[in-house]
Amino acid sequence: MKNLLAVGFGGMAGSLLRAVIYEGVSSFTGLWIVNLLGSLLLGFVAGRFHAKSAPFRLFVSTGLLGSFTTFSTFTAEWFRLMERSFTGGLLLALGMTAFSVGTAAIGLKFGRKAVAG
């Protein structure tokens, strides 16, 4: 039950944070901000807090950052771009994926470094 509550409360917080960002910028810019920042933070959390309790890790990773980032909005934006330009859609898909994985790797490196001191 603790794990489910951790994911639920984290999800609520993450979706609200995403909404705050989307209020301040265009949806396309917001998409990049939340996915890249979320990937960076998820990598950091994975490296830094791997020894924490399961509820803590689930709150932060699956709940907070899982709902902060948005694969569904990325997919909707990809569909919209594909209707206008195959190349634009392809560039979005490749760019978002590459940059998200790259920022997650950077976050993981810094998270591990924070543990090492």
- How high is the pLDDT of residue 45? 96
User: Which pLDDT score, from 0 to 100, does residue 17 have?
Assistant: 97
**pLDDT tens sequence across 16-53:** 999 999 999 988 999 999 999 999 999 999 999 989 99
Per-residue pLDDT, 116: 86
Mean pLDDT of the chain: 95
Domain that holds residue 23: 2-116
In this prediction, residue 117 carries a pLDDT of 74
| Tens of pLDDT, residues 65-80 | 999 999 998 999 999 9
Distances (CA, A) of 3 to 48, 56, 57: 20, 8, 9
Q: Is 69 annotated as a binding residue?
A: yes
Is 70 within any annotated ligand binding site?
A: no
Mean of pLDDT values over 50-69: 95
Residue with tokens 């509820």: 55
pLDDT tens profile 75-102: 999 999 999 999 999 999 999 999 999 9
Q: State the total domains in the chain.
A: 1
Q: What string of H, E and C letters represents the secondary structure of the chain?
A: CHHHHHHHHHHHHHHHHHHHHHHHCCHHHHHHHHHHHHHHHHHHHHHHCCCCCHHHHHHHHHHHHHHHCCHHHHHHHHHHHHHHCHHHHHHHHHHHHHHHHHHHHHHHHHHHHHHHC
Say if pTM beats, i.e. exceeds, 0.85.
Answer: yes
